[in-house]
Structure 1
Amino acid sequence: MPPPVPGAPGGGYGYPQGAGQPTVGPGYQAVLRFRAADGSEQQVIRRSAPGTPHPEWQILHELRAMNVPPQQVLELHTELESCELPGAYCARMIRESWPQARITSIAPYGRDHASRQQGMGQLLAHQGELHQVADGPARPGPVRAPLPHVQPAAPVGPEAVAQELAAVFGPGVFRFDQRAVSRQGVPEAVAVTLVWAGLPVGLGPFFWAQAQPGRPVPTLAELAQERGVQPAPDAGSYLVMGSDFGKAICVQYGTANIVAVPVEAGPGGTSVAPQFVNTGLPEFVRCLALLGRMWRLRYGLNQEQAGRWTVDFQAQLAALDGAALGSPENWWSVLLEQMWDGLL
């Protein structure tokens, strides 16, 4: 059988796979208890599935659809500790949405790659024990395929980047006018990309553009002041493109790299080290177009099919910007890690 065409509809993900094939993990379950209008206690249970947000976000959307007031949320229990990572920032969402809820979890989930993988090991062990008690087959653990060595994709001009973005997001693209990008220090490649191609208004749960018609692209210092939080000393050296819900996605002056940085200063008013996202804005926009095109194809896949999808996605991502996956703590690497573990 010839290998599937990367990114083609269906992508060959439905074909049965042999043993040891790339497989995404089983993810985790979340249970939320709330007080209903009649005074009774009710619960909502959601679990991870390929192509869907983390269970905590699924529950938030469910509660909103049911018009449950946030103060009626009593307790949230998750098999995996709620994360502080791009693609989710569940812990932040919970603090902001249900500040009074009692929060419990089974497996810890750390801030760095090693401790996150340790937590995943504990989660899989816990799930294995549950299945033994239930006398049923456990869902398979992740079988992660290594990053491939790929030929870098040829760089393309702003018109081609614009076409890639429009093909995926259609009218959901925000293009900046010349005035908005003509502030001092904006790199030429950034200005051209924002005017010609623009940014996707929203690609949940990953990215939302800083889309305010007619206003100049703000620095991180300006955004912090607007929000009434203390900016870090270096906040003036970042130009804000948008948000991943936890951090601002910015162009870093000097390097023109795309990085993720907290809006507020660190402890004691210090600067926080930026998290690398992409080499530059054209690469970031092309990677978002790739994610937007492929994300909808992940929905409804089983663990093995989602494994094939993830192999295709990481190969195309590496071709667009190899540096994006250069460290396990990079923004795109952390998204990919969650995909392999079955959390997204």
Structure 2
Amino acid sequence: MAEAASWGEFFKIWQANQLVPIEPNRLTNSPVPERTRQFLSGVGLPIEAPLYVTFYHDERLLKPTVFKGDFYLLVGDDSGNLLGLRNDTGELWSIDGSLEQAWFVNSTLCNFILFLGLYEKHYCDLEKYIIARDAKALEEPGNWWSIIMEQMGYGFL
């Protein structure tokens, strides 16, 4: 599904006043896919998010980080782990603070923020929704969303 086509669905979950669009001039030299650039400037990042996720709205946003030879642009963190967009694919990864291990989160930043919104609203079919929209997010037991779903199943979250 095209990123822009999903924005209507996105705004059913998030209200515009909960998001801060990124100024397009901040994205000019960022090596992210065009769909990510459009999302960041057209929709933006949440002011607050669940699951201990903090999105950056300061100088840390889009700061380049290298992990095992791949370049990532930071968009936030989740209690000690960095959340970075892989600059060649636009995939979102959670990278531990010591840069020794990483976990796949979502195929796109838009999907991640959409799923956070669904989680926040206690969406009862969240796992089915993730499988239908971004199955890769649950493919491996160590993926970020796989761990979240397991913790939800045990009642930890």
Provide the TM-score with structure 2 as the length reference. 0.84
**Aligned AA (1:323):** K
Task: Using CA pairs under 8 Å that are at least 6 residues apart, name the structure with larger relative contact order, 1 or 2.
Answer: 1
**Aligned AA (1:317):** I
Q: Quick check: 1:277–1:284 contact (8 Å CA) kept in 2?
A: yes
TM-superposed CA distance for 1:253, in Å, is 2.3
Which one of the candidate residues 149, 152, 157 is aligned to 1:339? 152
TM-superposed CA distance for 1:330, in Å, is 0.3
Provide the TM-score with structure 1 as the length reference. 0.41
Q: How does 1:239-258 map to 2 (within 5 A)?
A: 239-258=73-92
Correspondence 1:181 to 2:9: no
Alpha-carbon distance between aligned partners in 2 of 1:323 and 1:288, rounded to the nearest angstrom: 16
| 1:135-183 Cα distance to aligned partner (Å, 9 max, x none) | xxxxxxxxxxxxxxxxxxxx25426426624742441212101011112
Q: How does 1:1-344 map to 2 (within 5 A)?
A: 155-158=1-4, 160-161=6-7, 164-165=10-11, 167-212=13-58, 217-220=62-65, 234=69, 237-265=71-99, 272-294=100-122, 309=124, 312-344=125-157
Count of matched residue pairs: 157
Provide the identity percentage: 23
**For 2:122, what is the secondary structure of its paired residue?**
helix
Change beyond 3 A, Cα 1:220–1:166? farther
Structure 1 segments unaligned to the other structure (5+ residues) = 1-154, 222-231, 266-271, 296-308
| CA radius of gyration, larger in | 1
Alpha-carbon distance between aligned partners in 2 of 1:162 and 1:260, rounded to the nearest angstrom: 27
Change beyond 3 A, Cα 1:160–1:257? closer
Alpha-carbon distance between aligned partners in 2 of 1:195 and 1:294, rounded to the nearest angstrom: 28
Change beyond 3 A, Cα 1:172–1:184? closer
**For 2:84, what is the secondary structure of its paired residue?**
strand
**For 1:336, what is the secondary structure of its paired residue?**
helix
Change beyond 3 A, Cα 1:342–1:161? same
TM-superposed CA distance for 1:336, in Å, is 0.4
Alpha-carbon distance between aligned partners in 2 of 1:289 and 1:261, rounded to the nearest angstrom: 22
Alpha-carbon distance between aligned partners in 1 of 2:110 and 2:39, rounded to the nearest angstrom: 6
Change beyond 3 A, Cα 1:189–1:336? same
